Amino acid sequence: MTEQNQNVENNETAEMPQAEQGEAQEKPSYEDLEAKIAELEGMLKDEQLRGLANEQNLRRRHAEEIQATHKYAGQKFAAEMLPVKDYLEMALLDQSGNFDALKMGVQMTLNELNKAFEHTQITEINPQPGDKLDPHHHQAMQAVESDQEPNTVVSVLKKGYQLADRVLRPAMVTVAQGGEGGN
């Protein structure tokens, strides 16, 4: 039994230094902790600087894209207008004096212009007589006596145009005057 006691005692003493060693490894020194904190702070600062640099790069690229968009906003329309210019130049070079040929050339030019408008989403605002005056799309240039209902379109002086849903120029119209001296 003494051997057993001795073995148990030896095992306990053998385990004690290992436990003490484990505790020594679990508890780093103050300097080690400070070094680890400094390392983590450095990593955090580095990540923060990278994030800021990334944000600045995104802002710069966004500003460049906006600038390019503004610079080349009319590119599609300009490309659509080139054939119109070509037809006008050809009409001016024609020396034949043939009125029908000139009229045909003007019609071809108008067709090209209409195609350009269609491709760039420019549509006409062309109200019909009797249509109610729409202040968003029509500009009343004068009021005239008429059999029509007051504030309705009598005639169109100039067509209006809009780009997609934005009015470029309202249709300039005459409107029917209201009874008893006006609107």
Total length of the chain: 183
Tens of pLDDT, residue by residue, the chain (183 residues): 555 555 545 555 555 555 555 555 678 899 999 999 999 999 999 999 999 999 999 999 999 999 988 888 888 888 888 988 888 888 888 788 888 888 888 899 999 999 999 988 999 999 999 999 999 999 999 999 999 999 999 999 999 999 999 999 999 999 999 754 444
20: its two tokens: 């003490």
Amino acid at the residue 94: D
Say how many C-beta atoms besides its own lie within 10 A of residue 156's C-beta.
19
- Among all chains, which residue has been given the structure tokens 């983590």? 40
| β-pairing verdict for 160-163 and 122-125 | antiparallel
β-bridge partners, 138 = 171
Phi, psi torsion values for 98, nearest 5 degrees: -80, 115
**To which residue do tokens 């640099």 refer?**
53
Angle between helix axes 99-119 and 75-93 (nearest 10 degrees) is 180
